[in-house]
């Protein structure tokens, strides 16, 4: 049995590690990318997903920053948190620098079941190429021969840009993440370590800002850090994108190609890890019965994952919309609503559990 994975992002590499651990041969095809392009990017991994990954990457916990609590603020009241998410028996998530995580999980070349190959445009998705593999798992969907097979999507344009940077600041115990719902959009402070914090600020396109204006906004909303330096500032457009069909013959679209969501809850990679867990269990089930991993396995994966992913992504979208409209509600009413939610333990606990384990 032989499986092909296309792409070399975090999802593709994690999936390759899981599959090769089952003694299944994997060929990973990729185009060279500059890791420096991801120098500002951070990713959150929930405790549940981290427990799964540590079985394959034992050192992963050493490079992440454990976040014990998440505080949510209304932009109109920065001195008092509107909501608090915490648990007495576990962390909320661990935050990783993309580049460090990539270097850790990309160390797969020692496995005799793993090979890396540079994509050759004239060979990829040719008939001979497709016949070589039981399954093809594509995390890119960039090649012209396959794009049209996965063209139907549910798309919502947020008309918003996510501005990202990393601030250097004075030494502080830095294990509490903050989310502020401002009139411009949601602003997240995500601790990397005791001297650095990642910032993700989703700003409506109608609120045009340059880098200096961006810095002033961060300084205005920051009530915690003694900022010493802003690193480079980048931005990208935000949209919700859900693929309608996951499979075509023995080809499976995967990772962000299945679901791109608002970064509000830091759940992008976590959704993909849950998909990996589902696919891994289905492969194990087939192997235990003596069957190969084939297109019928992919149909079973689609039936299990598609509904769950759609509901979860839609939930994130609804939360984003609710907080956007919160800024239009009179202040006294907004305070009462958040006070009631925060006092309702079942709601905050339920939200924490869904964020941790998914649906």
Task: Please name each of the domains of the chain with its CATH number.
Answer: 2-155+239-357 (3.50.50.60)
**Predicted confidence (pLDDT) per residue in 11-70, tens digit:** 999 999 999 999 999 999 998 877 788 889 999 999 999 999 999 999 999 999 999 999
- Residue 250: φ, ψ to 5°: -100, 20
Q: Which residues of 159-187 are buried (b: 16+ CB within 10 A; e: fewer)?
A: ebbbbbbbbebeeeebbbbbbbbbebbbb
Residue closest to 97 by CA, chosen among 42, 40, 151: 42
Q: What is residue 346's predicted lDDT score, i.e. its pLDDT?
A: 45
User: Among 124, 163, 165, 171, which Cα is nearest to 143's?
Assistant: 124
Written as six digits, the tokens of 91 are: 């962390």
The pLDDT of residue 341 is 62
Give the pTM.
Answer: 0.91
**pLDDT digits over 112-144, tens only?**
999 999 988 878 888 888 889 999 999 999 888
Q: What is the pLDDT of residues 319-358, one digit of tens each?
A: 777 777 766 677 666 666 666 666 554 445 545 666 666 6
As beta bridge partners, residue 236 has: 162
- Specify whether the backbone of 216 is left (phi greater than 0), alpha (psi in -120 to 50) or beta: alpha
Give dist(CA 52, CA 9) in Å, integer: 18
Has residue 10 got a pLDDT over 80? yes
Percent of the chain's residues with pLDDT above 70 = 90
Three-class HEC string of the chain: CEEEEECCCHHHHHHHHHHHCCCCEEEEEECCCCHHHHCCCEEEEEHHHHHHHCCCCCCHHHHCEEECEEEEEECCECCCCCEEEECCCCCCEEEEEHHHHHHHHCCCCCCCCEEEEECCCCCCCCHHHHHCCCEEEECCCCCHHHHHHHCCEEEEEEEEEEEEEEEEECCCCCCEEEEEECCCCEEEEEEEECCEEEEEEEEECCCCCCHHHHHHHHHHHCCCCCEEEECCCEEEEEEEEEECCCEECCEEECHHHCEECCHHHCCHHHHHHHHHHHHHHHHHHHHHCCCCCCHHHHHHHHHHHHHHHHHHHHHHHHHHHHHHHHCCCCHHHHHHHHHHHHHCHHHHHHHHHHHHHCC
């Amino acid at each position: 049995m032989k499986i092909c994975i296309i792409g070399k992002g975090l999802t593709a590499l994690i999936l390759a590690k899981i599959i090769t651990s089952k003694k299944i041969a994997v060929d990973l095809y990729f185009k060279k990318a500059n890791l420096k392009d991801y120098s500002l990017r951070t990713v959150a991994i929930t405790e549940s997903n981290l427990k799964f990954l540590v079985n394959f990457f034992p050192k992963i916990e050493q490079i992440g920053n454990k976040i014990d609590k998440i505080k949510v603020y209304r932009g109109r009241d920065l001195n008092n948190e509107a909501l608090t998410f915490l648990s007495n028996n576990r962390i909320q998530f661990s935050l990783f620098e993309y580049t460090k995580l990539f270097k850790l999980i990309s160390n797969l070349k020692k496995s005799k079941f793993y090979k890396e190959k540079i994509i050759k445009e004239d060979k990829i998705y040719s008939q001979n190429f497709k016949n070589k593999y039981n399954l093809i798992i594509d995390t890119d969907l960039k090649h012209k021969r396959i794009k049209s097979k996965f063209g139907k999507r549910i798309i919502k344009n947020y008309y918003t840009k996510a501005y990202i940077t990393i601030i250097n600041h004075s030494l502080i115990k830095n294990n509490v993440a903050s989310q502020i719902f401002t009139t411009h959009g949601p602003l997240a402070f995500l601790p990397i370590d005791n001297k650095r914090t990642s910032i993700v600020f989703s700003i409506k396109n109608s609120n045009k800002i340059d880098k200096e204006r961006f810095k002033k906004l961060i300084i205005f909303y920051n009530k915690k850090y003694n900022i010493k330096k802003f690193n480079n500032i980048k931005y990208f457009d935000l949209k919700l994108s859900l693929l309608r069909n996951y499979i075509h013959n023995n080809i499976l679209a995967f990772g962000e190609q299945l679901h791109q969501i608002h970064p509000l809850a830091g759940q992008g990679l976590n959704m993909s890890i849950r998909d990996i867990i589902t696919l891994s269990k289905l492969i194990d089930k087939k192997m235990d019965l003596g069957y190969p991993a084939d297109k019928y396995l992919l149909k079973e994966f689609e039936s299990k994952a598609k509904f769950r992913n759609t509901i979860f992504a839609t939930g994130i979208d609804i939360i984003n919309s609710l907080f956007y409209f919160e800024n239009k509600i009179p202040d006294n009413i907004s305070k009462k609503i958040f006070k009631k939610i925060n006092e309702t333990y079942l709601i905050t606990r339920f939200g924490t559990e869904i964020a941790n384990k998914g649906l």
